[in-house]
Amino acid sequence: QVQLVESGGGLVQAGGSLRLSCAASGRTISSYAMGWFRQAPGKEREFVATISWSGGGITYYADSVKGRFTIARDNAKNTVYLQMNGLKPEDTAVYYCAALYCSGYGCYGRYDYEYDYWGQGTQVTVSS
């Protein structure tokens, strides 16, 4: 079992920045691809970013956040980060961290059904 705990959410003005953290416990995440998803009120959960466990951390982003958000991982700290810059009101959502066990080199996940473990989420609110 992998337990994931997100932190770093909060209220920020448009154009501001936040860094979310996802601390894992129970198992090392070095063999897990990691992802961030978000869910706004009244909307379905959507993919934000993912990073592979191998290949130096191959990343993939949703078009809506590309160039503004950066996902990174520190396997020594068993932690994944999401640096969010240039925040917009439409980024307001609960952000979830997720772990996907995959053996393939450079694999990562873009779909929520692929993931094995989820955190409880952290609220991000961007005011205009």
Residue 104: pLDDT band (50, 70, 90) is: confident
Alpha-carbon distance 104 to 54, whole Å? 9
pLDDT mean over 109-113: 94
State percent of the chain over pLDDT 90. Answer: 85
b/e map 68-92, b = 16+ CB within 10 Å = ebbbebeeeebbbbbebeebeeebb
